[in-house]
Amino acid sequence: MAPPTPLGLVLAVKGSALVVELEPVAFAGHAPLLLGELVAAPAGPNLAIGVVHGLRRGRRGEDHAVADVQLLGEIIEPERRPRFRRGVSMSPVLGAPVCRAGSELGAVVYAPPSAASVRIGVLSNAPGVPAHLILDAFLGKHFAVLGSTGSGKSWTVARILRAVLDICPAAHVLLLDPHGEYAPAFGARAEALDLARLELPYWLMNFEETAAMFAPQRDGRGYAEASILKEALLSARLAWAQTNGGVAGPVTVDSPIPYRLADLVRIVDEAMGALNKPESVAPYRHLLSRIESLRNDRRYAFLFQSLYMRDNMDQVLGRLLRFPVEDRPITVIDLSGVPSEIVDVLVSLLCRMLFEFGLWSERGRATPLLLVCEEAHRYVPNAREAGFEPSRRAIDRIAKEGRKYGIALGLVTQRPAELSPSALSQCGTVVALRMSNEHDQAFVRAALPEGSEWLLAALPALGTGEAIVVGEGVTLPMRVRIDPLPEGAQPASHTPAFSQAWKEDRDGLAFVRETVRRWREQRR
């Protein structure tokens, strides 16, 4: 495989970077070199492959230019069976000719991997070359999709997940959707649940989650209430276990064993009645009042909706995690319009159950699961005081330990600077869309693998639906234009056309009345 006509010569070698002095375009008979283009240079028996990430004038006047090239890998056996591999075993020597890689070499560099892969788009600098994700590495080592509002983030997430479901129809995906925009992207393949259709019995919560709801720490208060709750909760679980034939193994305050809320209230009330000092009853009364208030709060109906006690943990988990799949491999949890304190309880419970399901599954038979968190900075924030600690801890644990138990994590956010660095650092693949905020760019810079810093310069200039993909899930870092979604399968996140909607008064007061009705009934 002979390389095309040289563009210039290697002027300097600096580690994995080259400085190339280009021939004057007027004399070389070729089109000007562009940022992002692939170039090749002989390096011993192989061809070193690099990408142009900088252009400037040379010292020899206006007719000469210098290109900065980042080496990506090498093509081995270029004349026989050309194959690309990452890393360079031998750097080009000074004076070595540098040429455009061209479509022939580009097809070798970006050839579909031999492992299972999915197409997500085409290369921005070579629209004829498809871009693939290596499926097992992309999912098994976690991923992050980062981008400012309007950059095509939701579109990219939907495109990736649809591509995964196309070749994995028996997948098990749980998507947390804070804006209610993803269900249309999957159509009949999604089990779409909102709070009205969701059932998560309160007894599934562990002690930390139960205390955060019934005995929150506020202004130094709540410690006494949490202590009372802990003893009562254990007694209530034991009472149910003993009444219903017992449980093999020890019962703890965190065991997912049903208990009657009436038993919990009775135990707290009896403990309060046994006190000798009237001034000690305050925390008991506060706890009982809080339990009664939340039980009657219709916003928490998904926790307290069962009229009678039943142990349906297997059915709840089966529906959420898609066992059996029944042609619906993804569950979309619509969290739009849900108050933040309720979202925190719900997300914490879902994420912890997902992790513990993988943890307690029989080794060797565990089915991989994928959790995708849209607006992830809300659930696993950078600052501890900014979020609900149980949900932060649950997602952090999945990020750090989930891959051991077949739990994959996808973090999606428009504010990476507000996301937990420890969680983001566990993501083996980063899909970065347009990002203009300097703090967000700096945060992404720290998360990118060594040698890919040159890609950051392109972040503010990316088009809508264009992304830089780096990490374990791709053969090498690449700039990708994401494939469009089919008609009717786009996420419901489009911005309204003000110029058209404001041309005439069409709706009148009837529109306001309808909105008020839906608002009061909590129906979208």
For CA atoms 381, 382, 387, 389, the dihedral sign is positive
Instruction: Examine the pLDDT at 61 and tell me if it is beyond 70.
Output: no
Q: At residue 425, what is the residue type?
A: S
Tally of CA atoms within 13 A in the half-sphere of 355 that contains its CB: 18
**Residue 59: pLDDT over 60:** yes
Q: What is the dihedral of CA 330, 336, 340, 344, to 10 degrees?
A: -10
DSSP letters spanning 397-437: HHHHHGGGGTEEEEEEES-GGGB-HHHHHT-SEEEE-----
The whole-chain average pLDDT of the chain stands at 86
**CATH architecture for residues 6-109:** Beta Barrel (2.40)
Report domain extents, the chain.
Answer: 6-109, 130-201+312-484+498-510, 203-300
Gyration radius of the chain over CA positions:
28
Superfamily of domain 130-201+312-484+498-510: P-loop containing nucleotide triphosphate hydrolases (3.40.50.300)
Q: Which position has the higher pLDDT, 113 or 232?
A: 232
Question: What is the predicted pLDDT for the residue at 451?
Answer: 57
Least confident of 197-211, 441-455, 479-493: 441-455
pTM (2 d.p.)? 0.86
Start-to-end C-alpha separation, the chain: 60
Residue with the larger pLDDT of the pair 290 and 36: 290
> Of the segments 362-371, 403-412, 493-502, which one has the largest average pLDDT value?
403-412
Higher pLDDT, 277 or 326: 326
Which tens digits make up the pLDDT trace of 266-304? 999 999 988 877 778 889 999 999 999 999 888 888 888
Q: 61-72: string of b/e by CB count within 10 Å (b at 16+)?
A: eeeebbbbbbbb
* 110-129: pLDDT as tens digits: 877 778 899 999 988 778 88
**Beta strands 466-471 and 429-432, pairing class:** antiparallel
What are the φ and ψ backbone dihedral angles of 205, each rounded to 5 degrees?
Answer: -70, 140
Q: Which amino acid is at 214?
A: F
Distances (CA, A) of 14 to 49, 70, 503: 15, 10, 59
pLDDT (tens digit per residue) in 332-346: 999 987 777 788 888
Report how many helices (DSSP H) and strands (DSSP E) the chain contains, helices first: 17, 18
* 89/57 Cα distance (integer angstroms): 30
How far, in Å, CA of 423 to CA of 160, rounded?
21
